[in-house]
A and B are shown apart, each in its own frame.
Chain A
Amino acid sequence: MKDVEGTCSGRHGFVVAITGIESVGNGLVRNGTAFVTFPVKYQCVVFRPFKGQILEAVVTLVNKAIWDSSEAGPVQIFVSKHLIPDDTEFQAGDMPNYTTSDGSVKIQKECVVRLKIIGTRVDATEIFCVGTIKDDFLGVINDPAAA
């Protein structure tokens, strides 16, 4: 069970937690070893982000003039500078961040932001997402270092 939790399938998304086992099928003995494989039907909670979805995520990395990367559970979301409001400027330093021109809003590591997913790409083991905070009602929700 532990092997499946945390994996990702392209079709269904990340398996977050198994909630129950429906049935266990007949076992098949594997050639060459004494192991037996059982097909198991189970119920689980999955996480699959969709395009257009609005999520809250924690910022994990802020980079100069390019982007910030946020995490929403097991998914990493990439937000490019193009999709951050125009009036924010990058500030380098110990804690690199993006600050608005009037200094009122700061986007830095550990901030929680609300973003919209504008594209997802799924491969066998991972889901990549691209997001934006340029629309209405998006942006920083909570800044732990807020003055």
Chain B
Amino acid sequence: KMSVASDSPVHSSSSDDLAAFLETELDSDSDSSSESFPIGQAHDDDDAQVSNHRLKRQKLEYPEDETENVASVTFSEEISEASSSKVPCEHPGTFGNMCFVCGQKVEVTGVSFGYIHKGFKLQQDEVTRLRDIDMKALQSQRKLCLVLDLDHTLLNSTVLRDLKPEEEYLKSHTHSLQDVSGGDIFMLEFMHMMTKLRPFVHSFLKEASTMFVMYIYTMGDRPYARQMAKLLDPKGEYFGERIISRDDGTMKHQKSLDVVLGKEKAVLILDDTENAWPGHKDNLIVIERYHFFASSCKQFDHRFQSLSQLKSDESEPDGVLSAVLKVLKQTHSLFFQDGGEDLSSRDVRSLLKQVRKEILKGCKLVFSRVFPTKCQAEDHPLWRVAEGLGATCATEVDASVTHVVAMDVGTEKVRWAIREKKFVVHRGWIDAANYLWKKQPEENFGLEQLKKQGTDDVIVEKLRDMVVDAYTLSNPNQVHEDVILKARDACYMAQFSFSTLM
């Protein structure tokens, strides 16, 4: 039998009663306090009877145990009395499977917040309560919440074995991991990876942290997320413990704000993948993907060379992060403008829409041969996007029209536009405004640009034919015209993502 000496109030001695008491304590659930009392009290009586004897024996060895023992017994009695007179506990959350307010074993339900502490779960009511507290704290600090994605948004990582020979030169340019400040490319041998931070990211984080409490939310695993946080935020001042990885998410392959302790109407999200946030599209700012490494381009089916192969990079002052920062600043100042106390009615989602509507404000667009004839023009996604950007859309030309959006030169509307000296642009002009949050010069999106596909023309033609065949097969009832339009659209969408690289 093992003899036990421990810090607990129950001391070890050779008394049979005590041994029996210990056995019961160890065997029973430590959560249930009722079992120990009868034995404890019996022991107390016993103690009194043989107290003299025991004192003599133990004084030398365990001087403080006698008093400690008595004290612990009375103390335990107090606990049982106190807990029975308390208001029934609401069990707002659990740690392990214990309620962290009353310590009882409860059924484990609620949302898991593993990134805050292992085994920590909160009930929905408690989450709402905490979000309200958070909202007040944020408002007093004049801050909102910002959730940031990692891959292709703030940085680009590649596995070392996917490095192309032209990229080997990067190995000599990597920054030391001992002092990451000021560095932007890192070799992580122990993870077999190399990571490149997006240009402007340090300034971005610094400025954003004055306006937002920031979270990282990535589809990578927890060790990866922690390591990237160390590179972006070596002092831990931007993110703290607010690092959510796929191990902390509640759904596979999807992200959600349920594990973010901020009110939804005060949270903005920055991510390169729109479909990762199916429930929160209104909070989302979609950012252009950052492809530095060749392996990253390949993953998204690019045919152009990556930035690392071209030995170039995104522009710092004029790059994507800089543009997004401006949008964030605008939304933030709209939220806190007028400095009024009643900010509870403000919603960052509607403010984001408002900022977006400034982009193509004042433009009136007419589409020519862009939508399939059978489809209602107003329902087409492109029409919706244009309206979301603040433009007015129409189906017929008139004097107030400013732009004609077309894909072919030979249409009537295009000829009208040229006569009336109106702008003629292809749909990329709208898409670019959507991604870059800024109206683009119309000259860069003229129809002549469409033809300039360089050496890939032959491939494009072949691709187009393949897509047309595929569409014809799957839509046998559709008018041939419409099929061609759909096919051209699809080709176009695929190409557009390449052209923004330039």
Checking A12, A45, A96 against B26 with a beta-carbon cut-off of 8 angstroms, the contacting residue is: A12
- Chain A 86-119 interface 0/1 with B at a Cβ cutoff of 8 Å (1 = within): 0000101010100000000000000000000111
CA gap between A69 and B120 in the complex, in Å: 12
A121 touches B116 (CB 8 A): no
- Chain B residue, CB-CB nearest to A63: B116
Checking B76, B99, B237, B240 against A52 with a beta-carbon cut-off of 8 angstroms, the contacting residue is: B76
A80 touches B93 (CB 8 A): yes
A51 touches B120 (CB 8 A): no
A66 touches B130 (CB 8 A): yes
Q: Answer whether residue A120 sits at the interface, using C-beta atoms and an 8 A cutoff.
A: yes
Nearest-neighbour CB distance to chain B for A79, whole angstroms, equals 8
- Chain B 126-147 interface 0/1 with A at a Cβ cutoff of 8 Å (1 = within): 0000100110010001000000
B9 touches A53 (CB 8 A): yes
B2 touches A118 (CB 8 A): no
Q: Answer whether residue B8 sits at the interface, using C-beta atoms and an 8 A cutoff.
A: yes
Q: Answer whether residue A2 sits at the interface, using C-beta atoms and an 8 A cutoff.
A: no
- Chain A 26-68 interface 0/1 with B at a Cβ cutoff of 8 Å (1 = within): 0000000000000001011111111111010000010111110
Chain B residues 50-88 with CB under 8 Å of chain A are 72, 75-76, 79
B5 touches A45 (CB 8 A): yes
Residues of chain B within 8 A of A43, CB atoms compared:
2-3
Q: Answer whether residue A122 sits at the interface, using C-beta atoms and an 8 A cutoff.
A: yes
Checking A119, A120, A123 against B102 with a beta-carbon cut-off of 8 angstroms, the contacting residue is: A119
Q: Answer whether residue B98 sits at the interface, using C-beta atoms and an 8 A cutoff.
A: yes
Residues of chain A within 8 A of B254, CB atoms compared:
none
Residues of chain B within 8 A of A119, CB atoms compared:
31, 98-100, 102-105
Q: Answer whether residue B4 sits at the interface, using C-beta atoms and an 8 A cutoff.
A: yes
B3 touches A128 (CB 8 A): no
A78 with B117: in contact, given A11-B26, A52-B75 (CB under 8 Å)? yes
CA gap between A118 and B104 in the complex, in Å: 8
CA gap between A130 and B94 in the complex, in Å: 9
Q: Answer whether residue B30 sits at the interface, using C-beta atoms and an 8 A cutoff.
A: yes
Nearest-neighbour CB distance to chain B for A88, whole angstroms, equals 13
Residues of chain A within 8 A of B93, CB atoms compared:
80
CA gap between A77 and B96 in the complex, in Å: 11
Nearest-neighbour CB distance to chain A for B131, whole angstroms, equals 10
Counting chain B CB atoms within 10 Å of each CB, the highest count among A45, A61, A66, A94 belongs to A66
A122 with B30: in contact, given A52-B75, A83-B101, A130-B95 (CB under 8 Å)? yes
Q: Answer whether residue A13 sits at the interface, using C-beta atoms and an 8 A cutoff.
A: yes
Counting chain B CB atoms within 10 Å of each CB, the highest count among A52, A61, A65 belongs to A52
CA gap between A119 and B30 in the complex, in Å: 8
CA gap between A11 and B31 in the complex, in Å: 14
CA gap between A46 and B4 in the complex, in Å: 7
B102 touches A48 (CB 8 A): no
- Chain B 1-42 interface 0/1 with A at a Cβ cutoff of 8 Å (1 = within): 011111111100000000000000111001101000000000
Checking B6, B8, B100 against A130 with a beta-carbon cut-off of 8 angstroms, the contacting residue is: B100
Nearest-neighbour CB distance to chain B for A42, whole angstroms, equals 8
Checking A11, A50, A65 against B134 with a beta-carbon cut-off of 8 angstroms, the contacting residue is: A65
Residues of chain A within 8 A of B372, CB atoms compared:
none
A50 touches B8 (CB 8 A): yes
Q: Answer whether residue B97 sits at the interface, using C-beta atoms and an 8 A cutoff.
A: yes
- Chain B 432-466 interface 0/1 with A at a Cβ cutoff of 8 Å (1 = within): 00000000000000000000000000000000000
A63 with B96: in contact, given A51-B30, A52-B75, A80-B101 (CB under 8 Å)? no
Q: List 17 A-B contacts (CB under 8 A).
A: A11-B26, A12-B26, A45-B5, A46-B4, A46-B5, A50-B30, A51-B33, A52-B33, A63-B117, A67-B117, A78-B95, A78-B117, A80-B95, A80-B100, A119-B103, A128-B119, A130-B99
Q: B-contacting residues of A (Cβ < 8 Å)? A: 11-13, 41, 43-53, 55, 61, 63-67, 69, 78-80, 82-83, 90, 92, 94, 96, 117-123, 128, 130
Q: A-contacting residues of B (Cβ < 8 Å)? A: 2-10, 25-27, 30-31, 33, 72, 75-76, 79, 92-93, 95-105, 116-117, 119-120, 130, 133-134, 137, 141, 237, 240-241, 261
